[in-house]
């Protein structure tokens, strides 16, 4: 058994070392595009997040942090979010939203830059 796995460990260690040494160079030179690119946000979203511009991915991440911190998920149906006053301000005043609705409801808050 050790004879089979012994060779694999050596190969995996070499591959892991090669991958980890090249990864930081790629990250520093990569240009942020798509959902990772910071864009200006609406006044309501600015008030909620506290920043004038943010990427879509970061905005969703911060909203989920708020949902988890305030225990706003329905315990019986985890796909359902009960909105508090802060969330209602960015989710068109809805009492409840579905997990999959979040991206659609946030879309109008990201302003198009000219």
- The CATH class given to the 35-109 domain equals mainly alpha
Q: Which residues pair with 80 in a beta bridge?
A: 98
| Residue 15 binned pLDDT confidence (cut-offs 50, 70, 90) | low
Q: What is the mean pLDDT of the chain?
A: 83
Q: Tokens 């990427």 appear where?
A: 55
Q: What per-residue confidence (pLDDT) applies to 2? A: 52
What pTM was computed for the model? 0.68
| pLDDT value of position 32 | 78
Condensed to tens digits (0 to 9), the pLDDT of residues 58-103 reads 999 999 999 999 999 999 999 999 999 999 999 999 999 999 999 8
pLDDT at residue number 87: 93
Which sign, positive or negative, has the C-alpha torsion 85, 90, 92, 97? negative
Query: In this structure, are residues 44 and 91 in contact, taking their beta carbons and an 8 Å threshold?
Result: no
């Amino acid at each position: 058994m050790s004879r089979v796995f012994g060779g694999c460990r050596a190969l995996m260690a070499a591959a892991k070392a090669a991958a980890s040494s090249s990864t930081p160079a790629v990250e520093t030179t990569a240009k942020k595009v798509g959902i990772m690119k910071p864009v200006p946000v609406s006044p309501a979203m600015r008030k909620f997040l506290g920043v004038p511009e943010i990427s879509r991915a970061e905005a969703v991440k911060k909203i989920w942090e708020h949902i988890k911190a305030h225990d706003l998920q329905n315990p019986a149906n985890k796909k359902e979010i009960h909105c508090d006053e802060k969330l209602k301000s960015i989710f068109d005043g809805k009492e409840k939203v579905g997990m999959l609705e979040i991206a659609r409801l946030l879309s109008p808050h990201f302003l198009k830059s000219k």
